[in-house]
Structure 1
C-alpha cells in the first residue's frame, strides 16, 4: 500500500532541489527573506548568553561604576526606556506576525510559479494575509481568554484559594496543554492546506476551511500521518538548522570579535570609559550589526527547510484532491522527469 503522505516527501525533495539549484544568489536571498517571516528565528535564544558578562569571577565586584555612566542614565529614564521598549516590542511583534501572514501566500506563489518575487505578490495577496492574520489573532485571543479566565478569577478574588481549588488546577493545566496542542494543529493545517486552497479557488479563509474539511475526512489517515511525519521532521529539522546556524554564527562572529577587541583597545588607549557615550555607541553599533548578521544567517539556513515543507503540504493536498493541485506540473510520477529548475533571475 502506497501512502500519499510518504510519496509526497520525495516529490517535495525533488521540487525543492530544482528550485534552489543551480544556485542563484538573488533567488536564495528572496526566499530567505520570505522564510525569515514564516519560519521564525531559531537562533535567537543564544543572544541571552551575551548578557552574562557580569557574573562574578573570583571575589570581585560586579557593580558598574555609576560615575562612568552618562548623565542621562537615571533610574527614571531607565524605567521609561524599558516601558517604551516593551511597547515597541509588542508593536513590532504584531507587525512581524502580520507580514508573516501575507508571506505565507507569497511563498506559495513562489514555489508554485518558481518565479520568486516579493513586492508584487505581497500587494496581490495583501488582503488574503489580512484574513489569515485576523483568524490567527482571533484564535490566539480566544485561547488566551480561556486559559487566563480561571487565573484572573483567583487573582481578582472571585474564587477563594482552597485546597480543592488547588486540586482543580491540576486537570486545568493538562486541559490547557491539550488545548494549545489542538490549536497548534489547527494553525499548522491552516497555513499548510487552507492557504493554498484560498489561492487555488479564490476563496475566503472560512470558506476554504469548509472546502478542505471534506478532503480531510476522505483522506483522514493520510492527513493524520502527515501531521505525525511533519511533527517528527520538524523536530529533526529544527535540530539540524540550529546546529548549522550555530556553526555559521561562530564564523560570522570572528570579524566582530576582532573589530570589538580593536575598539576596546582603542578606547582604553584614549582613556575613554567603556560605558561612556562613545563606548556605548561603538559597541551598540557592533551589537546591532551582529544581530542583523545573525538574523540573515538564520534566514538563509532555514530557507531550504521552509521551502521543502511548503512543497510537502502542496504535493499531499494535490494528491488528495486534483482540483486543489497547484504543483501538478512538478510531479515525477509515472517515470516523468524531475522538474526543471528556473532560469536565473
Structure 2
C-alpha cells in the first residue's frame, strides 16, 4: 500500500542517497553543505544583547541613543544597513536553493560552479518570496482590522471573542502560505532548473501535476509535515548537546574568572559569549547537514514520481 504513495516510497531512497553522499566523511563536502545550510536553513535566532548587566535604571540609561552619541540620521543609517544586509542574506539564500539542487543532481558539491548562472533565477525566487511575505503580512493585518479592532471598540469581553476567531484564521492563513513556500522550494525550484524557466512558469507546471494527482500531493504534504516534526525533535536534542558541549567548559571558565575580575565581569561575559558563538555556530551548521540534504533529496525523488520529465537525479548513487 505504501508503494502507491510517492511520499512513502521516497523516504528510504532519500536516506540511502544522503548516506552515500556524506559517508565516508569528507570534510570539504560537509563544510560546503554547511555553508549552504547557513543560507537556506539558518541556525535559529539568539539575541546576545538581551543580557542585562545592571538594574532597570542602568539599562535604560545605557540604551538611550542620545547618550551613546548617535544622531537620528546615524540611527537610521544603521537600521538601513542592517535591513540591506538582511535582504542580501535572503537573496543569497535564494540563489543557493538552486546551487543546492545543482550539487545534488550532479553529484559535485561545489559552491561556485553554478552560482553565477543561478543569480538571475535566485533574484526571481527572492522577489516572489518577498511578495508572498508582504501578502501574508497584509492578510494578517486585514484579519486584525476585521476581527479585533471592531471588538475593541465594544469592550474587553468582545476583544476576547475577536481573538478566539482571529487565532484560527491566522493559523489557517499561515498553513496556506506555508504550503505555497514548501512547494516553491521543493518542486518549483528544481522545475525551474530542469526547464530553465521563471517562477510563474515553474509554478504552472507544478500546479498541473499536483492537481492531476491530489491524493499524492496531500500525502506528500502531510508526510513532509510529520517528517519535519520528527527531524525538529532530533535537531532540538542535537542542538542541546552541542550547546552543552560548548557551554559547560566556557561556563566553568566564566565562573572561575568572574571570581577574580570583579568589575570586568560584563566584558568577560561578552568575550566568552562571542567565543561560544564562534564555536557553536559552525557545529550547529554541521549538525544540520544530514537533515537538509535528506529533505532536498526527498523532494527531488518525489518530484520525479510526479513528473518523470523533471528527474534531476539521473546521476546514480556513489
TM-score bin (small chain) = 0.7 to 0.9
The superposition leaves residues 142-187 of structure 1 with CA deviations (integer Å, 9 ceiling, x where unpaired) of 12112213546899x9998125974556434422221111000000
TM-score (norm 1): 0.78
Cα distance in structure 2, aligned partners of 1:245 and 1:260: 21
**Structure 1 contact 98–129 (Cα < 8 Å) conserved:** yes
Select the structure with the greater relative contact order (CA < 8 A; seq sep ≥ 6).
1
Structure 1 equivalent of residue 291 of structure 2: 305
Which of these residues, 30, 34, 37, is aligned with residue 35 of structure 1? 37
The superposition leaves residues 4-59 of structure 1 with CA deviations (integer Å, 9 ceiling, x where unpaired) of 221111111111011001100111011011112222224x45x67983x77xxxxx
Structure 2 equivalent of residue 101 of structure 1: 94
Structure 1: gaps spanning 5 or more residues? 55-61, 331-338, 341-345
Residue 306 to residue 79, structure 1, CA distance change in 2 (3 Å):
farther
**Structure 1 contact 249–297 (Cα < 8 Å) conserved:** no
Which of these residues, 241, 244, 251, is aligned with residue 235 of structure 2? 241
Structure 1 equivalent of residue 67 of structure 2: 77
Cα distance in structure 1, aligned partners of 2:11 and 2:71: 49
**Structure 1 contact 108–196 (Cα < 8 Å) conserved:** yes
Structure 1 equivalent of residue 264 of structure 2: 274
Cα distance in structure 2, aligned partners of 1:102 and 1:40: 15
Cα distance in structure 1, aligned partners of 2:82 and 2:152: 35
Cα distance in structure 1, aligned partners of 2:204 and 2:225: 24
Structure 2: gaps spanning 5 or more residues? none
**Structure 1 contact 97–133 (Cα < 8 Å) conserved:** yes
Cα distance in structure 2, aligned partners of 1:328 and 1:103: 21
Give the number of the structure whose alpha-carbon radius of gyration is greater: 1
**Structure 2 contact 147–162 (Cα < 8 Å) conserved:** no
Residue 77 to residue 128, structure 1, CA distance change in 2 (3 Å):
farther
Which of these residues, 103, 115, 126, is aligned with residue 119 of structure 2? 126
Tell me, yes or no, if structure 1 residue 161 matches structure 2 residue 148.
Answer: no
Greater helix share, structure number: 2
